[in-house]
């Protein structure tokens, strides 16, 4: 898919990677807002710099077990090694010696190897940057003694960044309930920063569509509905296939509305359908609301259900709740009629 203008985001992340490490950076945003695409672009544009990127995209894997985590993060080699599974950008995996037996590995052994690789990069006069996409997929992995991998990783990340200033750690996620957990985690207090990659800006959408040959009427119509990069790509393709802008967008709204009706109809028995509609009703006339309007004791289960199923996006940092896209907003309004 074509990379669309994200100059502001690129500048921030490229600059961040070149500063002294001092905190963990959590990059968050609605699903399909372009977080991974922007991050990969950052890596691509800095591939000839003195930065070595350790990049792990966990969205490519089913939720890993302990053994799978080790195979994803480590490769046999005397030091950090090129990740040849990712061919479009130069990224590395942590290296381990040939005789490393994953069956008997303790968590401290894992962390020691990570730190050895990072120190190897530094000894060579280069800067290490560790990026983990969809970090929350490691939540249910436990090592010896029942230690939570994710909780212990946070301690390691604080050490690598805020305490020793050795390595940047950047974590990407679209799971905003996970971000809420992170934000309230005392271990990470004063050791984390947050950066939102949100919907495309209206002017960006206008410029892209104009460049792609859409007329002014089509562009003005689209601006009421589009917000995500993949929507633009699909709209362009559909136009080439002979579908009008109106046909495509109305079809999207119908699909999302039908999916939302089915989701509500098949909710678990412990959730209240009327409370779910009460939450959705907050968006009848507003595309976003303040979090205190929805996050209440009697609505919390239904709210989490809508966030987990990617109907709503919870921006805990800015205290805002909104649909995951403008198309989703129109779908919500459709089922409220």
Query: What average pLDDT does the chain have?
Result: 93
* 270's tokens: 């412990």
d(CA 160, CA 169): 8
pTM higher than 0.75:
yes
Spans of the chain, pLDDT less than 70? 1-4, 102
Residues paired with residue 46 on neighbouring β-strands, in sequence order: none
CB 208 within 8 A of CB 232: yes
pLDDT for position 87: 83
d(CA 294, CA 291): 6
Q: What is the DSSP string of 230-250?
A: HHHHHHHHHHHTT--HHHHHH
Which spans in the chain are helix H? Answer: 7-18, 35-45, 66-73, 107-123, 149-158, 176-183, 202-211, 216-222, 229-240, 245-265, 273-281, 300-308, 326-335
First vs last Cα of the chain: how many Å apart? 35
d(CA 54, CA 121): 11
pLDDT for position 151: 92
pLDDT for position 146: 84
Give helix 202-211 / helix 229-240 axis angle, nearest 10°: 30
| Structure confidence by residue, pLDDT tens digits, 12-21 | 999 999 999 9
pLDDT for position 2: 61
Burial class of residue 194, CB neighbours in 10 A (0-12, 13-18, 19+): middle
pLDDT for position 237: 95
d(CA 76, CA 98): 6
Backbone angles phi, psi at 142, to 5 degrees: -125, 140
pLDDT for position 104: 75
pLDDT for position 76: 86
**Interacting residues of 304 by C-beta distance below 8 A, sequence separation 6+:** 177
Burial class of residue 301, CB neighbours in 10 A (0-12, 13-18, 19+): middle
Q: Which domains does the chain have, with CATH numbers?
A: 7-196 (3.40.50.300), 202-335 (1.10.10.10)
């Amino acid at each position: 898919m074509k990379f669309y203008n994200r100059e502001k985001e690129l500048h921030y992340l490229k600059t961040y990677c070149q500063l002294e490490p001092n905190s963990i950076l959590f990059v968050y945003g609605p699903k399909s807002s372009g977080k991974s695409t922007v991050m990969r672009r950052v890596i691509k544009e800095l591939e000839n710099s003195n930065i070595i990127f350790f990049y792990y995209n966990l969205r490519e894997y089913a939720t890993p077990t302990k053994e799978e985590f080790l195979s994803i993060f480590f490769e046999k080699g005397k030091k950090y090694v090129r990740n040849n599974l990712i061919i479009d950008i130069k990224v590395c995996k942590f290296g381990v010696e040939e005789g490393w037996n994953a069956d008997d590995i303790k968590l401290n052994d894992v962390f020691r190897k990570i730190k050895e690789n990072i120190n190897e990069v530094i000894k060579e006069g280069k800067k290490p940057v560790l990026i983990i996409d969809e970090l929350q997929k490691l939540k249910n992995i436990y090592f010896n003694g029942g230690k939570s991998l994710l909780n212990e990783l946070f301690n390691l990340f604080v050490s690598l960044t805020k305490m020793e200033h050795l390595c940047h750690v950047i974590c990407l996620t679209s799971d905003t309930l996970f971000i809420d957990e992170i934000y309230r985690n005392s271990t990470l207090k004063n050791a984390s920063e947050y950066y939102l990659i949100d919907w495309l800006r209206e002017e960006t959408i206008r410029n892209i569509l104009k460049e792609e040959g859409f007329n002014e009427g089509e562009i003005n119509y689209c601006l009421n509905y589009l917000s995500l990069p993949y929507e633009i790509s699909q709209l362009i393709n559909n136009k080439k296939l002979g579908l009008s802008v109106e046909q495509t967008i109305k079809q999207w709204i119908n699909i999302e509305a039908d999916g939302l009706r089915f989701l509500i109809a098949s909710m678990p028995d412990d959730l209240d359908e009327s409370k779910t509609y009460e939450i959705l009703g907050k968006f009848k006339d507003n595309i976003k609301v303040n979090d205190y309007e929805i996050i209440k004791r009697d609505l919390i289960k239904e709210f989490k259900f809508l966030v987990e199923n990617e109907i709503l996006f919870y921006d805990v940092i800015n205290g805002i709740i909104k649909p995951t896209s403008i198309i989703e907003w129109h779908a919500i309004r459709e089922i409220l009629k």
